[in-house]
């Protein structure tokens, strides 16, 4: 069993974008189901009627009171049983529905609230759909875009970022002490075993572990496997790198369309940095931040250094309308003999860097830091495994 909270910054930024309406995501999930010859229907809490994609969108988009314009409005989860687990349950969709309902109760209980209140499935607004097929993507073996062989049944869940009373914000991608994704994964894996039995027979000579003991075992296995994956990553094939580079060409072209021509990024240089970083999540997250800056009219100084290191400084940032912003942005590179910024890219870049020099004279020096917190680094790395 593999349970994952999708981070749209690194996985399907368009499809799983959750800053606005859930329309795009729901339509994509419905389309995938139809292409596989299945019914594009969504299920939810026990006793509720199936919903269409349009009904799911109406429900989720109507449960956003109290959220800001750029706040996540919903979150996406994937529950993916192994082939052996699917065989164990007879690949039964109804069994997976019941399992998903139990997992969503565990999802709710995994949130730690300040007042000590414990949530349950009834406090959530969510919907899920079952897909029977997968296609090769990214680092998968086989021809990209072709269907994977064998049983590939899995569940996609869309859950509101607000509770049913629209009083509590629920963000599974936030701080680990608020929502532990490793704990959630371990609970989901354990639930499959408790609900349907073990894939392999239990050693009767040893006492049957309790549920808390099983969860603790799964957490240890998840952490250990994540550490092993970090130490020994499977190298990409030339075909996989070519596919990633082709997608990067499109992303850089889209980003450049939002920038002044003097600030355009060189796609070949971006791809070279991607190769150096082995196409890791920090690279894609940083590239996405540069694009989001451009969408907001903000110039990102030294974008190549930012992509290479993933590090930013908390200095006032020039917006393209001439104002200043305190949003953390990358530091400009220093390459001149006098340690002054090397100005490239025309008057817009020169003016921006001049403002940066002036800002440094007005504020205390600030130590550069990784764009992610230690908890976020750990959480991201712990997702890089499959059960």
Q: Read out DSSP for 210-249?
A: PHHHHHHHHHHHHHHHHHHHHHSPPPPPHHHHHHHHHHHH
pLDDT at position 359: 43
pLDDT computed for residue 40 by the predictor: 79
Return the higher-pLDDT residue of 70 and 204: 70
The residue-averaged pLDDT of 21-32 equals: 93
Of 4-13, 82-91, 226-235, give the range with the top mean pLDDT: 82-91
Residue 240 or 335, more confident: 240
Whole-number Å distance between alpha carbons of 16 and 79? 16
Q: Is 78 exposed, middle or buried (0-12, 13-18, 19+ CB in 10 A)?
A: middle
Question: Pairing mode, if any, of strands 154-160 and 74-80?
Answer: antiparallel
The mean pLDDT value of the chain amounts to: 81
Task: Read off the pLDDT of each residue in 130-151 and give the average, rounded to a whole number.
Answer: 75
**pLDDT tens for residues 251-278?**
999 999 999 999 999 999 999 999 998 8
User: What pLDDT is attached to residue 364?
Assistant: 41
Per-residue confidence at 139, pLDDT binned at 50, 70, 90?
low
Q: Which of 31-40, 99-108, 220-229 has the lowest mean pLDDT?
A: 31-40
Task: State the average pLDDT over residues 276-295.
Answer: 87
Residue matched to tokens 């959530």: 124
How confident is residue 72, by pLDDT bands cut at 50, 70 and 90? very high
Write down the pLDDT at residue 343: 38
Residue 22's SS3 state is coil
pLDDT band of 352, cuts 50, 70, 90: low
Q: What's the sign of the alpha-carbon dihedral 367, 330, 235, 140?
A: positive
Q: Which of 85-89, 135-139, 346-350, 359-363 has the highest mean pLDDT?
A: 85-89
- What is the pTM (predicted TM-score) of this model? 0.65
| pLDDT beyond 50 at 91 | yes
What pLDDT is stored for residue 236 in this prediction? 81
């Amino acid at each position: 069993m593999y349970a994952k909270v999708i981070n749209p910054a690194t996985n399907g930024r368009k499809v799983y974008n959750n800053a606005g309406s859930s329309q795009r995501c729901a339509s994509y999930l419905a389309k995938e189901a139809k292409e596989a010859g299945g019914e594009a229907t969504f299920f939810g809490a026990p006793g509720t009627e199936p919903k269409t994609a349009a009904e799911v969108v109406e429900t989720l988009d109507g449960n956003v009171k109290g959220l800001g314009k750029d706040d996540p409005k919903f979150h996406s989860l994937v529950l993916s049983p192994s082939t052996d687990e699917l065989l164990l349950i007879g690949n039964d969709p109804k069994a997976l529905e019941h399992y998903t309902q139990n997992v969503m109760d565990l999802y709710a209980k995994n949130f730690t609230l300040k007042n000590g209140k414990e949530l349950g499935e009834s406090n959530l607004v969510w919907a899920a759909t079952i897909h029977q097929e997968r296609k090769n993507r990214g680092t998968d073996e086989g021809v990209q875009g072709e269907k994977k062989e064998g049983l590939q049944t899995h569940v996609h869940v869309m859950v509101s970022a607000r509770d049913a009373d629209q009083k509590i914000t629920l963000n599974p991608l936030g701080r680990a002490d608020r929502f532990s994704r490793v704990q959630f994964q371990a609970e989901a894996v354990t639930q499959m075993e408790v609900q349907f039995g073990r894939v392999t027979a239990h050693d009767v000579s040893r006492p049957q572990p309790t549920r808390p003991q099983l969860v603790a075992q799964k957490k240890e296995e998840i952490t250990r496997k994540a550490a092993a994956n970090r130490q020994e990553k499977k190298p990409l094939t030339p075909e996989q790198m070519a596919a990633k580079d082709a997608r990067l060409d499109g992303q850089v072209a889209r980003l450049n369309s939002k920038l002044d021509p003097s600030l355009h990024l060189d796609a070949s240089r971006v791809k070279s940095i991607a190769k150096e970083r082995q196409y890791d999540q920090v690279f894609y997250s940083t590239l996405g931040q540069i694009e989001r800056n451009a969408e907001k009219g903000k110039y990102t100084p030294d974008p190549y250094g930012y992509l290479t290191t993933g590090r930013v400084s908390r200095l006032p940032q020039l917006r393209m309308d001439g104002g200043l912003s305190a949003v953390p942005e990358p530091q400009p590179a220093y390459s001149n003999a006098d340690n002054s910024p090397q100005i490239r890219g025309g008057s817009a870049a020169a003016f921006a860097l001049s403002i940066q020099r002036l800002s440094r004279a007005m504020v205390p020096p600030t130590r550069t830091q990784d764009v992610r917190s230690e908890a976020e680094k750990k959480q991201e790395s712990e997702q890089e495994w499959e059960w």
